[in-house]
Amino acid sequence: MVHRRELNGEEIVLGNQGALWGSAMTWWDHETGSIWSQPIGEAIAGPLKGEHLELLASTLTTWDAWRTAHPETQALDIEGWRTAFDLSDMAVVVDLGTESTAYDIPALRQVGVVNDQVAGVDIAVVIDPNEDSRWVVFSRRLDDAVVDLDLTAEGLVDRDTGSVFDPFLGVGRSGPLGDQTLDRLPAFTSFPEDYFTFFPEGTLWP
């Protein structure tokens, strides 16, 4: 997940606090020493308790898949290591302020795309067919229309118009809506058993 490091017009500097809350990292800010939850971007202790950082749209993917989609990208060349996390044990969390829903990764892999609504926003949660460790969340609203999407070998296909969109970038490929792009929405991953730590009134799909 990615958050904007700006609060009330001021940039803040964050560091790794060293403890976990809900099996997830916590930060501390250098200005006040407040403790922040990484997944929800909320200060959970200290002078800024209750403040929130804005969650930005991001995606989880492999370097090869990202470089194919964005060949101009530059990255720091350092030795990496395999993560101990298995995406199959996690859920994609969509939090839109007043409501949140978690989508179990194994269930998502079975259907490819989920057309849903969270906090009145029409969304699509997608597992990329070419790389099942890669997921993304899109808005299903295009101008005044809401698309219902199926995942096929061609890509994301609008059931009404047959328009096709790239399942990772959301860019229209063909059909009446082929000149439009689906907007990416912010989301992040969490262990399902920890989801209700962050969102006690949240819901699980299906």
Residue 14 sits at the vertex; the CA angle it makes with 136 and 197, to the nearest 5 degrees, is 55
In the chain, % helix, strand, coil (3-state, to 5) comes to: 10, 40, 50
The whole-number pLDDT of residue 132 equals: 65
Instruction: List pLDDT tens digits, range 109-160.
Output: 999 999 999 999 999 999 876 676 789 999 999 988 899 999 999 999 999 9
Amino acid found at 159: R
Whether 86 has a pLDDT exceeding 90, the answer reads no
User: Regarding predicted confidence, which is higher, 49 or 55?
Assistant: 49
- Residue 55, pLDDT above cutoff 70: yes
CA distance 33 to 14: 9
User: For the residues 57-67, what does the mean pLDDT come to?
Assistant: 79
> Residue 36 pLDDT > 80, yes or no?
yes
Which pTM was predicted? 0.84
Where does 63-74+89-205 sit in CATH, by number?
2.102.10.10
More confident residue, 83 or 70: 70
pLDDT > 90 in the chain, percent? 66
- Indicate if the pLDDT at residue 34 is higher than 90: yes
Handedness of CA 112, 172, 93, 96 (dihedral sign): negative
Model pLDDT, residue 48: 95
Question: pLDDT per residue over 178-200, tens digit each?
Answer: 999 999 999 998 999 999 999 99
Indicate if the pLDDT at residue 46 is higher than 80.
yes
Based on C-alpha coordinates, what's the Rg of the chain?
18
Alpha-carbon separation of residue 123 from 96, 110, 115, 147, 198 (angstroms): 11, 18, 6, 9, 21
What are the residue boundaries of the structural domains of the chain, listed by start? 2-55, 63-74+89-205
Give the pLDDT of residue 121. 96
**Averaged pLDDT of the chain:** 90
